Amino acid sequence: MENKMIFAGLAVLLISLASVPASFVYGEAELDTYIVFLQKPEGLSTLADGDLESWYSTFLPDTTLASSSSTTRLVHTYRNVVTGFAAKLTKGEVKAMEKKDGFISAQREKMYSLHTTRTPAFLGLQLNNGLWNGSNNGKGVIIGVLDTGVTPNHPSFNDLHMPSPPAKWRGKCQLPKCNKKLIGARNLVGDTYATDDEGHGTHTSSTAAGSPVQASAFGQASGVAYGMAPLAHIAMYKVCSEEGCPGGSILAGIDAAVADGVDVLSLSLGGASSRFPEDPIAVGAFGAIQKGVFVSCSAGNAGPASASSANEAPWILTVGASTIDRKIKATVLLGNKAGYDGQSLFQDKKFRHRLLPLVYAGANGRAASRFCAPGSLNKSVKGKIVLCERGGEIARIGKGQEVKDNGGAAMILMNDQPNGFDTLADAHVLPASHVGFVAGEAIKAYLNSTKSPKATILFSGTIFGNPNAPQVASFSSRGPSLASPGILKPDIIGPGVNILAAWSVSVDNITNPPFNMISGTSMSCPHLSGIAALLKNAHPDWSPAAIKSAMMTTTYLSNLGRTKPILNEQLQPANLFDMGAGHVNPVLAADPGLVYDLQPNDYIPYLCGLGYKDSEISGLIQRKAHCGNVTIPEAQLNYPSFSIRLGSTPLTYSRTVTNVGRANSVYVAKVVLPRGVNVKVHPERIVFNRLKQKATFTVTFTSKGFSAETYSQGFLYWLTKGYVVRSPIAVISA
């Protein structure tokens, strides 16, 4: 599916869309991998590792059958973020297990899918200055990346100027060699080294914390590539293979990372929306935040469809993707002299700029041909420029391969309507230009208007200063959240389009070390993970929720020139379900004034309010939970944003802010009202006289004829001299 391919740029990683991996036949019954969540019996809360394993083994079936012993049935044992294991079981064996004391639930393992330098400068990070200086470039912070593995000898992982790993580090090195940058690696999908056969994990980890190195691809975007936290350490947890990312391996990766001592977890992968107690990422992440580990996840590449966000749990930072101000320009020029700007990373120097015959791949009326699917074209395209359409679950680069295989001279790749004006600079295999939907329609109209249509492509290379940047990427997954509509998701957007970072093999067969330019929320997530590492160094006492709040209340909502609001792929103003709180501004995030803090226990009444069973919540928090009367509505969670479902009854929620700015300060509330809604804040003025002081206020939402509207948005500001603390308010009708 094309969305799944956006991140990869290359068609090599065909992730299975099936939610269940292949089953094995065991005797008469099928064996599947199940993740089994348990609760330790009272009094056994401090089981030693060996005792824990023997207790787990009592849940496994008797192994009198054949030669299969319980140890070969066991796939992963979890110790740190959750109690339980993953094992190969039959349905009947799972049923039998349900009766045993301590059993919570068993989920059939699902497959999750993976969701790429100019970005430091674009984000206002400068050498020896500002936040990079104030955070020591993230020195000493450990970022655990769950991905496809890593390319250990890549210069982005050189350890020049790196300190030794902190004393708390207890990780392993399943690589030929680790160093002070790449301090550890584990393979949770096999027994071999955690090396990267794909490129994705090399890209994401170098984006988060790569060392500075001269970079380019196809001669484009050249410059020194830096990770967001250039002095942070990287630990790789390989949880994805060519088949995808098994949920049990993801949970095993989080479990190991937390025990190893990582400070930040970065997951550029996810699945469909699901109930938190059944989602290994949500469950693992909760265990992580209980140990003070910050968790940043990609929102997914299923946009622009509404309600498409993955990784929706409120203890996770859910990151959408936006553009930066760099294009790799490839202009389509038609026989009628009309020109349309598009993009391609592959800029063919040898391509002769003369008009060639132009054909529409879908002229035969077949959908497969329209999308330039493999095998859908024939030699009639030889020597011609072929117009292909985006979509049809065919990777963009794969479409060019089909044109090339049939002798086509070049490809114009046009968007479908939902992808609008968004174009991407891919490593195409032939001269190509990716143009927007409107341009594509104009090219089609030209094809209709003349007997001998002609076109060419002009390559003008790397262009900076796109005034519309940042813009929400069409593929970036959108809210509202399905799993928890009372929490606004995604939380934030950051750079995720045309990101140049380290790669495992040279994409042009020339450039070494290898770099690739790819796009996806997979690329925006590690930007935020690296920024979290900077904030963690600058503020070692901040909780994961405080770091998240600081990022979310200090975003910007306008383009670079501050002339227009942030736009979406249709060049319309982006709404809060497109971009959450807005675009990350690392420099301001380091000094937010106030934070909306949360401790792990604060999520319990929220989880109760979502209607989860006591046993499910016990599994999440790893001790007994009793909801009883201790429940709150979702929107009452002390979150830095508001997602409100409003009917005719007014709703009141409270929030508590913590002063992390100036000891003596007076903040005043200001509200930008959502249309059709009245918002009252009480009190409207808060006086602080010391740091870490907390203050609670209420916000009341009342409909003023809102029922006629389906969506409306506004903002709550707390203002004092030098600080602007902004919370977005999204209102939908109840």
Q: Catalytic site residues?
A: 147, 200, 522
CA angle, 632 then 604 then 538, to 5°: 110
Nearest CB to ligand NAG, comparing residues 448 and 563: 448
Q: 321, 315 in Cβ contact below 8 A?
A: no
Nearest CB to ligand NAG, comparing residues 238 and 370: 370
Residues in touch with ligand NAG (CB under 6 A): 129, 133-134, 363-364, 378, 380, 441, 444-445, 448, 508-509, 628-630
Least distance in angstroms from the C-beta of 693 to ligand NAG = 24
Q: 265, 486 in Cβ contact below 8 A?
A: no
Residue 100: both structure tokens together: 């045993």
Residue with tokens 């949920």: 247
Query: What count of residues does the chain have?
Result: 734
If one counts every other C-beta atom within 10 angstroms of the C-beta of residue 615, the result is 15
Cα 521 to its chain centre, rounded Å, is: 4
Least distance in angstroms from the C-beta of 573 to ligand NAG = 28
Nearest CB to ligand NAG, comparing residues 197 and 508: 508
Nearest CB to ligand NAG, comparing residues 239 and 429: 429
Q: Residue 542: CB partners within 8 Å, gap ≥ 6? A: 535, 536, 550, 595, 660
Residue nearest to ligand NAG (CB): 364
Nearest CB to ligand NAG, comparing residues 189 and 587: 587
Least distance in angstroms from the C-beta of 255 to ligand NAG = 31
Q: How far apart are CA 619 and CA 37, in angstroms?
A: 6
Give Cα separations from 691 to 303, 378, 631, 661, 685 (angstroms). Answer: 41, 71, 30, 7, 17
Residue 201, φ and ψ in degrees, nearest 5:
-70, -30
Q: Residue 517: CB partners within 8 Å, gap ≥ 6? A: 9, 116, 217, 220, 221, 328, 345, 425, 426, 427, 498, 499, 500
Nearest CB to ligand NAG, comparing residues 76 and 539: 539
Least distance in angstroms from the C-beta of 130 to ligand NAG = 6
Query: Residues of 13-33 as b/e, b for ≥16 C-beta within 10 angstroms?
Result: bebeeeeebeeeebeeeebbb
Least distance in angstroms from the C-beta of 379 to ligand NAG = 7
Least distance in angstroms from the C-beta of 442 to ligand NAG = 8
Q: Where are the beta strands (DSSP E) in 380-428?
A: 385-389, 410-414
Q: How far apart are CA 334 and CA 326, in angstroms?
A: 25
Least distance in angstroms from the C-beta of 648 to ligand NAG = 28
Nearest CB to ligand NAG, comparing residues 477 and 511: 511
Q: How far apart are CA 229 and CA 233, in angstroms?
A: 9
